[in-house]
Structure 1
Amino acid sequence: MQQLLETAIKAAIDGGKAILKIYVTDFEVLSKDDASPLTQADKNANDIINRYLVDTKIPIISEENKQLAYEERKDWSRCWIVDPLDGTKEFVKRNGEFTVNIALVENGNPILGVIYVPVTKELYYTTADARNAMKATLVSEEEDTIESILNNAEIISPSEISVDENFVIKIVGSRSHLNDETKQFISEIEKNNTVEIVSKGSSLKFCLVAEGAAHIYPRYAPTMEWDTAAGQAICQAADVQVIDNETKTPLKYNKENLLNPYFLVKK
């Protein structure tokens, strides 16, 4: 597992480097069939990440790979789930809030996760045993070694919600998706508590809860498995739950339909 973790970290960092090379150019924005944006950065990062992960002999589900039929996937006990550039809308807006997401899933449960933020060089990841969630900030993508990154990382942990009447509950809202159902969820909490909305793009929303910068992340909008798998792994390692709103159980992966149900992230 340690070797798999280190491979995922290297893949995420090198994928991030490829993204930044496009980020500083006058890049073209294309549209996928579902009208979501696609850039050369998505493609380049995906190629690099796949080159790393294919050597592990573990099958890969990536947003930018051709999706295999469930008949081919259903018996996989393990698989990688990858979003080479999560937050392409944020990338296009040039606000820096985009990430590289890599997760290892075992029997539907994300057991290892890596999220890299190319602009800030922040790296979030689970330990190999998934008992802790970690955060490191790279000094240089060229000079930092895996050893130095792991040695300089710190454990992150969530914040408790206080019953104090003056306590402010910080709720994560997406810059791109704050719909009526999310607003209704927030209004229910506001009946008894003061609420502060913390806006973030991409999988950084999971990281905010895992590191205690926010308390709750309600998601009442569509996401795919590659949007959430790495974030869920990191949250679970930090003792934060990512719960399906319908089943009240953790989100599952490598499903027949790779679309996620609505969910709630909370300690």
Structure 2
Amino acid sequence: MFLSRLLEPVKSAAQEAGAELWQLYQSGNFQQQQKADLSPVTSADIVANHIIINRLSELTPNIPIISEESYLVPLAQRQDWPRYWLIDPMDGTQEFVARSGDFAVSIALVERGWPALGVIYWPKENVMYYACRGNGAFKQQRNLINRIRVNEYQVGDTLKIAISRRQPLQPIINLLQNNNQVEYIALGSCSLKSCLIAEGKADCYLRLGPTGEWDTGAVHVIVEEAGGKILDSEFNALSYNQRDTLGNPDFMVMGQASIPWQQLIKSRPTQRNLKT
């Protein structure tokens, strides 16, 4: 009941932030800078961050917030938090700058170290993906709401792999046990590619390189409630709020949790990409 009461206000906050991002995107009225890790950040990220933090602080004043665009509380102070908000005010800043439109707002509630509620809003398409633990995953476009499930993939079918618009393809090809019968689907934004898996439009997404826990928090519960899973590159579970930085290892988003993914994708030593 607690999660279900939060869902609609969180969806509203994501849509409000997304609407502001879309207005700034269309007008081109934003400034761009570079972070210490060389990734881009814009004034639009900061505006969306303020909107979401204000709305969540009003909704749940006693629940702390971790955001990609805010000061990171030291691990010693946060490691025992029973629950916290984990947000990325704009996942896909590079796509925003590059004018592809493939960027999204990401909001998750993490409880006892595991994502329990997730909302992803895609302003360009006016699409909302969301899930609460134990209640299924859904896609909302305007007033139409549909429950989503991963693709019923069978070994031997064409494997549909979500890939980045801006990263080389060969490292992904190298991870496949068999390069035959593979189709690649390009899309920006880490969270939007993961949502392709959740709604059955792709079968897996192999992420190499730096990401933060805010890139997986919301989609983690959405993908799992849709019947898939997210694991690191050694097929182990991801963890949340257990490291000084909130950097993820390389990870894989996989549909149809029951199929033998290790027959399709090579295991490899986990690279800890400590994105701060």
TM-score by shorter chain over 0.5: yes
Question: How far did residue 179 of structure 1 move?
Answer: 5.9
What's 2:269 paired with? none
The aligned runs of 1:55-66 (5 Å cut-off) are: 55=58, 56=60, 57-66=62-71
Return structure 1 stretches of 4+ with deviation > 4 angstroms: none
For residue 155 of structure 1, what is the amino acid of its counterpart? R
What's 2:123 paired with? 118
What's 1:236 paired with? 224
What's 2:100 paired with? 95
What's 2:47 paired with? 44
The aligned runs of 1:200-219 (5 Å cut-off) are: 200-202=187-189, 203-219=191-207
Question: How far did residue 131 of structure 1 move?
Answer: 2.6
The equivalent position to 1:83 in structure 2, one of 83, 88, 93, is 88
What's 2:7 paired with? 5
What's 2:137 paired with? 133
What's 1:141 paired with? none
1:130 & 1:16 partners in 2: Cα distance?
26
The equivalent position to 2:20 in structure 1, one of 8, 18, 30, is 18
For residue 230 of structure 1, what is the amino acid of its counterpart? A
Q: CA RMSD in A?
A: 1.5
Count of aligned pairs? 248
The equivalent position to 1:154 in structure 2, one of 146, 150, 155, is 146
The 1:245–1:13 alpha-carbon spacing in structure 2 relative to 1, beyond 3 Å, is: same
Deviates more, 1:256-265 or 1:96-105: 256-265
The equivalent position to 1:33 in structure 2, one of 36, 51, 75, is 36
Mind listing any 5+ residue stretches in structure 2 that lack a counterpart?
257-276
For residue 164 of structure 2, what is the amino acid of its counterpart? S
For residue 79 of structure 1, give the secondary structure of its aligned residue in structure 2: strand
- Percent of matched pairs sharing the same residue: 42
1:95-132 CA-partner distances (Å, limit 9, x unpaired): 11100000111122111100000111000000x44331
For residue 175 of structure 2, give the secondary structure of its aligned residue in structure 1: helix
Question: How far did residue 19 of structure 1 move?
Answer: 0.5
Task: Check the 8 A contact 1:157/1:211 in 2, yes or no.
Answer: yes
Task: Check the 8 A contact 1:112/1:130 in 2, yes or no.
Answer: no
Question: How far did residue 239 of structure 1 move?
Answer: 1.2
Please give the TM-score of this superposition, normalised by the length of structure 2: 0.86
Question: How far did residue 177 of structure 1 move?
Answer: 2.8
What's 1:223 paired with? 211
What's 1:250 paired with? 237
Confirm whether residue 171 of structure 1 aligns to residue 161 of structure 2. yes
For residue 240 of structure 2, what is the amino acid of its counterpart? Y
Confirm whether residue 189 of structure 1 aligns to residue 178 of structure 2. yes
Task: Check the 8 A contact 1:221/1:262 in 2, yes or no.
Answer: yes
The 1:59–1:219 alpha-carbon spacing in structure 2 relative to 1, beyond 3 Å, is: same
For residue 24 of structure 1, give the secondary structure of its aligned residue in structure 2: helix
Deviates more, 1:252-261 or 1:7-16: 252-261
For residue 208 of structure 1, what is the amino acid of its counterpart? L
Task: Check the 8 A contact 2:133/2:221 in 1, yes or no.
Answer: no
1:178 & 1:107 partners in 2: Cα distance?
37
1:183 & 1:10 partners in 2: Cα distance?
39
1:52 & 1:97 partners in 2: Cα distance?
24
1:34 & 1:221 partners in 2: Cα distance?
12
